[in-house]
Amino acid sequence: MNKEWQAQLPLEHIIDITQVSGGDVNEAFKVRTEDGYYFLLVQRNRSEEFYEAEIAGLKALEDANVTAPKVVGYGQINQDAYLLLDYLEEGRQGSQKELGRLVAKMHSVYEPNGKFGFDLPYHGRDISFENGWKHSWIEIFVYQRLDQLRNEIVNRGLWTKEELIIYDRVRQIIIENLENHTSKPSLLHGDLWAGNYMFLSNGEPALFDPSPLYGDREFDLGATKVFGGFTQAFYDAYNEALPLSKGADQRIKYYELYLLMVHLVKFGSMYAGSVNRTMLDILE
């Protein structure tokens, strides 16, 4: 990152900028200034609109009294979008029970008009989703998410005709079960895998990198199941604070399938086996 680019950041007295791990979507940097540290995300050759949904999600978390980074600034420098956040100091350990309670607190915030969706779309590097407000969760999850992923997978030649037939059978089961499930539009993180939470230096849990929408809270719980990083203490504390309804274990598999399909689109055939196994599990 050159000095001319750095000079346009809304910070004074920058000492150095060090690249750090920031997931597979953004370039990420730790910025050291005379006044302290900041966290910088950069998306090359994208407009500042790329970060608008994440900024809105961080604001929603703040309004819900959920610990998350605060936005310091955002914009565009030389055709690159950037998002500047305050820096949260990570600790070595924390309580999974407190993390479960924190997620339950977030899910206890409901969209006041009873609709599902969000004011802004989701923008990813490989796929984007519309979040337009709907009266039905099925419209958001199945029609605007799963079906779009199906189309992307087919266009990339990653499914055979037989796998597409299996998906259609799974899709019908999902629709039938969700029609018989009472969903309330909770505030969702939208990408709640283990890489998007941390424990601070004082042990307090925090969430970051949201892909926000209002939807069925089991959507977030499905994401927690795919790659691990959440213990039984997390689920017990969550269920104590905000009990799940009958059939949750089966429905959570639908959201595991969703995240695996996202990864099939992003990373290719290395996720084909996991997607197929999950579809067959739903059919059992």
Two tokens, residue 189: 């993180």
- Residue 154 to residue 161: CA distance in whole angstroms: 9
End-to-end CA distance of the chain: 52
Q: Please confirm, yes or no, whether 63 is among the known catalytic residues.
A: no
Q: Are 18 and 40 in contact (CB under 8 A)?
A: no
Task: Single out the catalytic residue among 16, 63, 191, 209.
Answer: 191
In sign, the C-alpha dihedral spanning 65, 49, 219, 29 is: negative
CB 261 within 8 A of CB 148: no
> Quick check: 131 and 213 in contact, CB under 8 A?
yes
244, burial (CB in 10 Å: exposed 0-12, middle 13-18, buried 19+) = middle
Tokens describing residue 133? 């407000």
Tell which residue, 31, 84, 24, has the closest CA to residue 58.
Answer: 84
- Determine contact, residues 238/207, Cβ cutoff 8 Å: no
HSE, side-chain direction, 13 A CA sphere, residue 62: 9
Active-site annotation, residues: 191
